[in-house]
């Protein structure tokens, strides 16, 4: 826990080197071990995680030509071949774009909310509570952290607003702000001494609150009760972090020390993905979002090993009439697919119960735009890895009628997570074709 050494590729031990050892059952969280008599019959929990890519994709290189279990992988989707049996590819699901507001801000902000076009936030976006937070309402009372929001934003110029660098929202004007410093994420998740220190402060706060109570009127007592209840929630979170320490020590995660500003693109995405996997594996949370980069942001982007010089992702999307530009964009799309596949493979290597962490997870790759060229959102790129404990039929490509709301997918995911959700945003019903019988 106190080591400051990292592996050569800035991958956390416990997801990288540790898992290269024989797959010991002790590596999985105690809540999920199958050999413990005290845990006999315990079913591993289901998780939901989201991997966001900005600015859409090159549609001509992305879309598979056929459907079913024997579908042909498109050029961009070729990296999925190694995990083909674990993934589900969906086409022709999207949302209605609201005119008069920025297309990119809608893309990232509204991807997981897909509010009906007439349900606008104060700033005019079709934004409400996002589906990850709806799921976290259901799972958060059992974990230390109700959700985890991460961003691999490499920029420090802050030229865009919060709408371009966050995909998780508690409501139309309340963002679940993403974290981009791996060391801060690590400390939040695994440095229990920080939580213990916070607990001593909370004890004092509660003592002061109780001393105030006799002098307050009814309304103030109600307000104080709401406040102390919030404090109790934090106390419970601290207890759950402490309860997970045995599992965390067994995994021996290492503090990331390389500054995120100095990381290569693949390093940054993978180390944040490793932190996400560790949080899911140790049941610190069951809901996570990971942005590979922010929307629009036209500052130069380095993608080492893929492009000789920095590129401007957003600007390139508007030059797709040029073959060279379109090819570069398709190459960037494939880079993102490869990063996703690496994380899928890591999840598949984590033993849990009678299967793996991946088997009990829905890990979804997507974007809020189908194409950044015209700001379209009618055929959003959508890939789901993991079977959610047997609830999803993977290993296939399903093409829906044009105009099928992606909100139908959010209803489906909520139902699989144990939430009875008949409607969400502009949904018209669940996507029954992808659910296992």
Residues 6 or more apart from 343 whose CB is under 8 A from it? 51, 270, 273, 276, 277, 363
What is the spatial distance between Cα 359 and Cα 353, in angstroms, rounded to a whole number?
Answer: 10
Q: Given phi > 0 = left and psi -120 to 50 = alpha, else beta, which region is 112?
A: alpha
Does 274 score more than 70 pLDDT?
Answer: yes
Query: With contact defined as beta carbons under 8 Å apart, do 80 and 381 qualify?
Result: no
User: For position 419, what pLDDT does the model report?
Assistant: 95
Q: Average per-residue pLDDT in the chain?
A: 82
pLDDT in tens, 372-382: 988 899 999 99
pLDDT digits (tens, 9 = 90+) for 102-135: 888 889 999 999 877 777 777 777 888 999 999 9
Number of helices (H), then strands (E), belonging to the chain: the values are: 11, 11
pTM of the model: 0.81
Identify the pLDDT of residue 100.
Answer: 75
For 33, counting Cβ atoms within 10 Å of its Cβ (0-12 exposed, 13-18 middle, 19+ buried), the class is buried
Domains of the chain as residue ranges with CATH: 18-188+251-434 (3.40.720.10)
Query: Among 364, 436, 437, which Cα is nearest to 406's?
Result: 364
**pLDDT tens-digit readout, 35-86:** 433 344 568 999 999 999 999 999 999 999 999 999 999 999 999 999 999 9
Cα(54)–Cα(11) distance, integer angstroms = 24
Q: In sequence order, which ranges of 37-112 are alpha helices (DSSP H)?
A: 59-62, 103-110
């Amino acid at each position: 826990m106190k080591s400051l050494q990292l592996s050569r590729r800035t991958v956390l031990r416990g997801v990288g080197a540790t898992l290269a050892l024989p797959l010991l059952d002790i590596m999985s969280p105690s809540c999920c071990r199958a050999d413990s008599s005290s845990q006999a019959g315990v079913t591993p929990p289901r998780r939901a995680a989201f991997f966001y890519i900005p600015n859409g994709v090159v549609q001509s290189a992305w879309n598979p030509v056929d459907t079913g279990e024997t579908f042909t992988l498109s050029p961009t989707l070729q990296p999925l071949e190694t995990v083909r049996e674990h993934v589900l590819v969906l086409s022709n699901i999207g949302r209605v774009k609201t005119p008069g507001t920025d297309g990119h801000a809608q893309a990232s902000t509204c991807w997981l909310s897909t509010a009906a076009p007439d349900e606008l936030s104060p700033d005019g976006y079709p934004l409400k509570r996002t589906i990850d937070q709806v799921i976290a309402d259901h799972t958060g009372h059992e974990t230390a952290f109700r959700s985890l929001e991460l961003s691999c934003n490499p920029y420090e110029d802050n030229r865009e607003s919060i709408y371009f660098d966050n995909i998780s929202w508690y409501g139309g004007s309340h963002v679940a702000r993403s974290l981009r410093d791996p060391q801060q994420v690590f400390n939040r998740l695994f440095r229990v001494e920080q939580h213990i220190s916070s607990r001593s402060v909370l004890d004092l706060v509660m003592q002061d609150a109780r001393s105030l109570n006799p002098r307050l009127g009814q309304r103030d007592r109600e307000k104080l009760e709401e406040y102390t209840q919030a404090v109790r929630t934090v106390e419970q979170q601290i207890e759950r972090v402490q309860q997970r320490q045995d599992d965390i020590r067994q995994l021996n995660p290492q503090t990331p020390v390389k500054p995120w500003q100095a990381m290569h693109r693949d390093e940054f995405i993978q180390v944040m993905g490793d932190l996400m996997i560790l949080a899911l594996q140790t049941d610190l949370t069951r809901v996570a979002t990971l942005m590979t980069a922010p929307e629009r942001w036209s500052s130069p982007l380095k993608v080492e090993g893929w492009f000789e010089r920095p590129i401007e992702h957003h600007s390139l999307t508007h030059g797709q009439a040029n073959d060279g530009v379109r090819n570069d964009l398709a190459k960037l799309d494939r880079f993102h697919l490869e990063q996703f596949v690496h994380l899928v493979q890591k999840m598949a290597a984590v033993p849990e119960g009678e299967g793996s962490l991946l088997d009990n997870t829905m890990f979804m790759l997507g974007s809020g735009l189908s194409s950044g060229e015209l700001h379209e959102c009618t055929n959003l790129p959508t890939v789901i890895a993991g079977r959610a404990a047997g609830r999803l039929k993977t290993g296939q490509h399903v093409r829906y009628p044009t105009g099928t709301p992606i909100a139908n997918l959010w209803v489906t995911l909520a139902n699989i997570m144990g939430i009875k959700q008949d409607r969400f945003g502009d949904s018209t019903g669940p996507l029954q074709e992808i659910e296992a019988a």
